[in-house]
Amino acid sequence: MMKHKALSALIAVAMIGGGVSVAHAQDGSWYIAPRVGVVFSDSNRDTDSSLYTGLGIGWWVNPNFSVDAEYAINDADFKNSSFRSGREWESASVGVTGRWFFGEQGSVWRPYVLGGLGFLHHAAYSGTVQNDGWDPMATVGGGVQYNFNDRIALRGELAARYDHDNNSLRGQFPGAEDHNHYVDGIASIGLTIGFGGSAPVEPEAAAAPPPPSPPEAAPETPADTSVVIDLRGVNFKFDRPRSSESDISPTLQEPTADSIAILDQAVDVLTRNPNVRVELDGHTDSIGSDEYNQKLSERRAQIVYNYLTSHGVSASQITGVVGFGESKPIDTNDTKEGRARNRRTELSVGNQ
């Protein structure tokens, strides 16, 4: 029972720590995953349903697949009808579980399926340990994840755990070793608290060179040419905007006020030069699949389009809203600073 209390304390600390970190949310490639639940024991095990506690460390392999390494404990009492009534059964597990998520990474709700392998340490005792040892296990199941923000998510999960238990009944009665196949049900709920990854580059954004000169000279440009103007300082947070977002402010990298000021300057220039035509081009860093980044770049171009047109720019001045995914970086994708600069939108400017 002391192990159970210690693990529960660790889970509580993890959850509190996660709550503190919400204000500093950022994208992350790894996370901790505390959870609690109930084990519904195989009827042949002769144990009551019991409390389940687990603490894992997970990694996002790609936007749809994560891998967790987890340690978990569940203790149970033998049923009154069992020949071992009054004794206690304890198990501690270590394992690795893969989860495949459906839908886009930025979605609020994401269902998933899971599969895992590991080992269970069994111990049956009454005052002193009578039988104990490690045995293989496997889990399959599914669940749904609710994303509160970029860092904090809630998981609800149902799984079946196959346990090849050669130890709990060892020596108890003739043929006991043949009773070694059990399938337990596990229902659990837990948090994932993200860390690591590419943090916001606020000092870099604040110290970035000022935006290029507004295109007042565009009318003097020949009609069949155009120039690309980077909205420097207007960069996006990792994996933003999500498909459900329409407000540009929360999607912009800090300092947001400076980014909005640059967009407002673009609004001013375009409304004062109605003959100027622009194409909005969205770009991403290299994290994620080509297909996912293509859609993300299109959302970035579209949300800038929505901002410009809602602040007075005529839709006729915007000739296209195009996404280029990760195909046209302006900086290296090997550093978090470079990736932050690649998460951008550009204006391809020409005249009528």
Per-residue pLDDT of the chain (352 residues), as tens digits, is: 545 455 555 445 444 444 333 333 334 478 999 999 999 988 877 787 888 999 999 998 888 899 999 999 888 777 666 656 556 677 889 999 999 999 876 678 999 999 999 998 877 665 555 667 788 999 999 999 998 877 889 999 999 999 888 766 655 555 555 577 889 999 999 999 887 544 333 333 344 445 544 444 344 434 334 445 556 668 888 888 988 888 998 989 888 888 888 888 889 888 988 888 889 899 999 988 889 899 999 999 999 999 999 999 999 999 999 999 999 999 999 888 889 889 998 888 765 5
Q: Count structural domains, the chain.
A: 2
* C-alpha to C-alpha distance for 212 and 174, rounded to whole angstroms: 85
Please, what sign has the CA dihedral across residues 125, 129, 133, 138?
A: positive
Residue 11 counted as domain residue: no
Strand 276-282 relative to strand 318-323: parallel, antiparallel, unpaired? Answer: parallel
Two structure tokens written together for 338:
């470079």
CATH number, domain containing residue 113:
2.40.160.20
Do 181 and 270 lie in one domain? The reply is: no
* C-alpha to C-alpha distance for 159 and 137, rounded to whole angstroms: 12
Do 189 and 214 lie in one domain? The reply is: no
- pLDDT given for residue 48 in this prediction: 79
Do 248 and 118 lie in one domain? The reply is: no
Please, what sign has the CA dihedral across residues 117, 121, 124, 127?
A: negative
β-partners of residue 92 are: 73, 121
Domain boundary among 160, 195, 230: 195
Burial of 8 (0-12, 13-18, 19+ CB in 10 A): middle
Do 297 and 329 lie in one domain? The reply is: yes
Please give the distance of CA 121 from its chain centroid, rounded to a whole number: 31
Two structure tokens written together for 323:
């996404």
Expressed as residue numbers, the domain containing 111 is 18-195
* C-alpha to C-alpha distance for 51 and 189, rounded to whole angstroms: 12
Contact 118, 159 (CB under 8 A): no
Q: What pTM did the predictor assign?
A: 0.53
Do 121 and 191 lie in one domain? The reply is: yes
Residue 55 counted as domain residue: yes
Do 175 and 317 lie in one domain? The reply is: no
Do 24 and 152 lie in one domain? The reply is: yes
Do 122 and 208 lie in one domain? The reply is: no
* C-alpha to C-alpha distance for 277 and 317, rounded to whole angstroms: 5
Name the residue among 2, 110, 114 with its Cα closest to residue 63.
110
Two structure tokens written together for 225:
């040419």
Do 22 and 38 lie in one domain? The reply is: yes
